Structures are given as structure tokens and as C-alpha cells.
Structure 1
Amino acid sequence: MSAVGFKDYVENKKIKDIVQKIINNPTEKYISNYGKDKIKVELLKEYGDTFGIIVRGELDENEEMKIFSVIPYKKGKLPMDIDEVDVIYSDNKDDYYVYFEDIKTGNPITFYLQNVVDYLDIDEDEEAYVENIRLVALSTEGTVILPINKDQVDKNLEQEEEEWRANLLELARDGDEEALQLLEIDAEQSAELFKVRTKHEDLLTILEGFFIPYGLNDAEYSILGTIEDFKIKTNSLTKEKVYILDLICLNFKLQVCVNKKDLVGVPSKGMRFKGICYVEGYLEFS
């Protein structure tokens, strides 16, 4: 909640008051006759530039809303190309998580699904395709750190390596054994080089970015990425300041939303962001 400007709203009574206001006057409302005998409801209330709170639940026979979850959200603006996705249902909270592999890096990523009603509205016999994913990370703590010093030659070499690796990944997905072997050799060599360098260098001077699972929650990650752009927005209710950071991390892009009070340092283009984040995403269906 802090990431979208509700840092001081941790008391149960305050949350209940906000939820009641959202039910009475949502910015957006989504309804699905899921399973014919259930009516799923999502109520979105914006409190800033594409960020706010989702109240999710079901309507009973008396049209009273049974609330399952209250979720802070930020609508992502940076699309990611994907190959295929798996949607996983978590029945303990009626939540949905999405699993996929990033095409360019092969990294597995799990995120919390924002637009559940859109997903539930797809009939089993209907052909639907996910055109892209828009990821956003809500951060509870973060730090702005210096970038790695690179000249143009370093950047060109890095780009060539990324294109070479992405091409091999594509061939490996199609069953090319030689491409798979080359990727394994590259991974072994990179790991060996990493071991050597960590004896003499700091971790943050070796790794320009990372996206590592953190804690027990599937959608929680430790993230390090380069800031390509940023904005500062104000929560219309609490007046708390929120940073929206456009990051490039391991050759893919995502937005990070973090409360100004939770960020150490002042962001600027070219600097890096390091923080603990809860990753959410929006599936865009054809």
C-alpha cells in the first residue's frame, strides 16, 4: 500500500473506510458471471496517474459484496513480448498468478494478475491470445545507486552479446541441440568469470542488473535495473509523493512504483535502482 501513497494507512479501520468509499464510488467496475452461479467483481479506484486500489470479491444472492482482497495497483505502460503464459489459481485468497519466460533472456518470471475478470471472461472454447504483458513492480524499499561506467565500445559489445544470446534462445526453443549446448557453455563460462571477479570487485560493479526471487511469495523479487525515465506523482487522497521509475533490467523493461519516503537517494536518468518489489502485471488479450 505504501508504494501507491498509502504509507500511513496500515490501521484496519482506515482500510475499511477506504474500501467502503471505493464500493460506493469506483473509478472503474468490472463484472463477470464466472461459473454461472458466481458473480465476480473488480472495483478500481484511481488515486493518482494510473495507480490506486483494486477491491475484488463476489456478489451474493442479496447482491451484497463479499470482499476477498484489497490490492494496491499501478497500470504498467511498458509492453513485453512473450511466447506463452500459464495462469495459476491460488484458491486460498482467490488470487491468480501468471508464469512465463522472458523471450530475450529466458528468465522465468511470476507475477500477480491484475485484470482477473478479463481472464475469467474468456470461454473455454474461445480462441484468445495474449498479445503482450505490462509489468509493474511495487517497491517497499529502494535505493538509487551509481551506474556502471561503460564507453561506447562496451555498449556495442554488450548489445551484440544480447542479440547472439536471444537468437540462441529462440533456436533452443525450437529444439536446436547445438544452440542448447552453446547456451550451456556460455552459462558455465559466465559463472566461472563471475567467481573470479567477485574475489576482487564489488557485486554491484559486476552486475548491471538482476531480477532475483526474494522471500516466500512467488511474485516478490529483488531488482536491480537502470533508470531510463522517471516521474513524481501525488496521491490525491493522502498527498503522499510517489516515484514512477521506468527501468531496463536484464534487457526487458518494467515500471517501478515506490513511495518517496521509502526511497534512499534521488532518481535521475542513467542511475540505477535497487530494491525489494512485489511484481504485478496486466495481460493484454487479442
Structure 2
Amino acid sequence: MHSYLKAVGFSKIKKREELKEILLDVIRNYDEKIAVEDHEDGVFVEFSKNYGYDCGITVCGQYDENDRFHVEYYFPFFRGTGITTQEQVTVERHTDKESFAGACDDLRIGITLIFYLQNGTEYMLENQKGRISIQSLTLSGLAGEGRILLPVLKDKEAVKVEKETSNNRNHLIAAARNGDEEAMESLTMEDMDTYSMISHRIVNEDILSIVDSYFMPYGIQCDQYSILGEILDFHFFRNEMSGEELLCMTLESNNMQFDVCINKADLLGEPAIGRRFRGNIWLQGQLHF
């Protein structure tokens, strides 16, 4: 049973038979079907069905010589909106199944983002053509749990200074990657100043009043992250089959915007624009070719 099924509104599934009925519904009443006919082991097919606002389940498998479909794996998905980044993306196949992971170095985050590729079959078709041209990437997340936090009090001048500081840091990181020693030294001094400031303020303040947002790896799985970000927009909707209420949020974390979906039952607090969301997500990505 996939641990993030509850994030798309299937939290009450407890038995294998219940899951099989849903997977059969996806295969029979799919919204989207993509087939790779020249696959080495036969015809590889991906079925996807939406059960709410751009969220649902994808079932992948192969047809045998008797034209019978065999399910290999499935995963819940939530497709985000907009373009998250246009940085270079590297894609690699998972060892155990015909699925893919993507990696992207975004200067705003400061780490290599690793995500589960939603449109892996489309990538396979592009790869067969012998030339892959990735234009952009849309990231999204399924949250297993989360809570709403109040925003950090800032005036307009502080927000302006923070944006300028972030832009300058991104330029320094880019220069450091190219071997600029002065940029490396500036980044080191900046990190030391930040550590000194936090050490001084943490005595009398809560850490979440000092740290406005963060995006960092969570657990031992490489595509799961713990995030804290400002809510830019949100809306509630229901899973068409189960009736469970879900929440879609557009967040900004470390100056990067992306969408997150969570089951309302797993959310503590009342969302509002300007407030912050803190939770653990399974990061997914959709490539645009």
C-alpha cells in the first residue's frame, strides 16, 4: 500500500481488494493513456486518472503476447501549475522498475533537488527519438502531514533587503561553482555571520521566528523533504470517489514556488494567505519537452 495514497484522498483503504478495485477503475476509465510500443519487453503502458483537482493515480504495466495487461506498479500523483525552474535536469531510471528519478541543481535551494518523475513514459518516448530537449520543470508535492504557522512579522524594507540578499547569494553561488575563490570566501564569511546571528537570537527567540522558510531532505529516501513556506494561494476540493476533502496550496519556500496537496484530516491549523505551511512532502516533477 502506497504511503501517500491518503494525500490524494484514499486514506480509508485498508485491504488489497479495495486497492485492486481502484486500480481497475483507473485502467478501465482512464483520463490519459500513453504507450511505448517499441519497449524491449513488450508494450509498456501508463494509465492515469484524476480523482480531484489535478490529483489521482497512475498505473503502469505491460501487455503480454495474449494482449493481457499486467500491472507492474502504481503511484499517486499531484500535478502542479506554472514553471518551477528552467535549470538543467538529469534523469535516471530506478533499479527495480521502469520508473525514473530526476535531479536538478537550483541555486535558490542550495542543494540538489531529487524528485520522482511523473511523466516517465513520456520521457521514454522522447528518449526513443534519440534526442531529448528538456525545456522546463514543474515541481509539486504530496504531503503526508503538516501544520499551519503564523507568518514572521516583517516590514516592506526588510522584505526588500531580504530579496536583494538572496539574489546576491545566488550570484555568489553561481560564481563559486565556476571556481571563483573570492565568491567562495564571501559565502564562507556569510555563513559564519549567519551562524553568529542565530546563536545570539536563539537564546530569547523561537527558531521558527528566525527561520522564515526552509527546504531540506527528510528521512533516508532521497525524494522526500521537510519544508516550510509561505502560502500564496490555496483552495479546498474533494476526491470524486472517496469524498475526502483535500487542500491544494501554492507555496513559496527559499524563493521557489510550487504546489502541495494534503488531506485536510492530516493538516493541523487553518490555512490563510500569508501564513506558513510546515510539513513533510514527497517531491514529484513533470518535465516539459
Question: Which of the five TM-score ranges fits, normalised by the shorter chain?
Answer: over 0.9
Q: For residues 60 and 196 of structure 1, do their structure 2 counterparts lie closer, same or farther at Cα, with a shift above 3 Å needed?
A: farther
Q: CA deviation at 1:138?
A: 0.5
Aligned ranges for residues 84-99 of structure 1 at < 5 Å?
84-99=88-103
Q: Where does residue 126 of structure 1 map in the other structure?
A: 130
Q: What is the 5 A alignment of 1:59-78?
A: 59-78=63-82
Q: What does 1:19-98 align with in structure 2 at a 5 Å threshold?
A: 19-98=23-102
- CA shift, 1:125, in A, is 6.8
Q: For each residue in 1:7-44, what CA deviation from the matched residue of structure 2 results, as whole angstroms up to 9, or x when unmatched?
A: 11232111100111111121100111354443221100
How big is each residue's C-alpha offset from its partner over 1:75-119, in whole Å with a ceiling of 9 and x where there is no partner? 110312232122122222433111111133432211111000111
> Structure 1 residues 133, 126: CA separation in 2 closer, same or farther (over 3 Å shift)?
same
Alignment-mate amino acid for residue 176 of structure 1 = D
Once structures 1 and 2 are overlaid, which stretch shifts more, 104-113 or 187-196?
187-196
Candidates 217, 220, 237, aligned match of 1:233: 237
Q: In structure 2, which of residues 267, 285, 288 is the aligned counterpart of residue 284 of structure 1?
A: 288
Question: Is contact 2:80-2:259 (8 Å) kept?
Answer: yes
1:138-149 paired onto structure 2 within 5 Å: 138-149=142-153
Instruction: Call closer, same or farther: CA 1:128–1:95 in 2, change over 3 Å.
Output: closer
CA distance in 2, matches of 1:100, 1:112: 12
Partner of 1:272: 276
- Report what 1:261 is aligned to: 265
1:204 aligns with 2:208: yes
CA spacing shift, 1:117–1:125, aligned 2, 3 Å: closer
| TM-score, L = length of structure 1 | 0.94
Partners of 1:100 and 1:13 lie apart in 2 by 38
Residue of 12, 16, 23 corresponding to 2:20: 16
Partner of 1:223: 227
Query: One-letter code of the match for 1:273?
Result: F
User: Is 1:106 paired with 2:116?
Assistant: no
**Unpaired runs of at least 5, structure 1:** none
Structure 2 stretches lacking a partner, 5+ long: none
Instruction: Give the partner amino acid of 2:45.
Output: V
* Distance of 2:91 and 2:191 partners within structure 1: 29
For residues 190 and 82 of structure 1, do their structure 2 counterparts lie closer, same or farther at Cα, with a shift above 3 Å needed?
farther
Which residue does 1:7 correspond to in 2?
11
The answer to whether the Cα contact below 8 Å between 1:32 and 1:40 also exists between their aligned partners in 2 is: yes
Structure 1 vs Structure 2 CA RMSD: 1.7
2-structure distance, mates of 1:134, 1:196: 38
CA contact (8 A) 2:85 2:138 kept: no
Compared with structure 1, are the counterparts of its residues 125 and 172 closer, same or farther at alpha carbon in structure 2 (3 Å cutoff)?
farther
SS at match of 1:82: coil
**Does structure 2 retain, via aligned residues, the 8 Å contact 1:40–1:57?**
yes
Is the Cα–Cα contact under 8 Å of residues 42 and 63 in structure 2 kept in the other structure? yes
> Percent sequence identity over matched residues?
32
> Are 1:104 and 1:169, in contact at CA under 8 Å, matched by a contact in 2?
no
Q: Number of residues paired by the alignment?
A: 285
CA distance in structure 1 between the aligned counterparts of 2:251 and 2:149, rounded to whole angstroms:
13
> How far did residue 266 of structure 1 move?
1.2
**Alpha-carbon deviation of 1:132?**
1.4
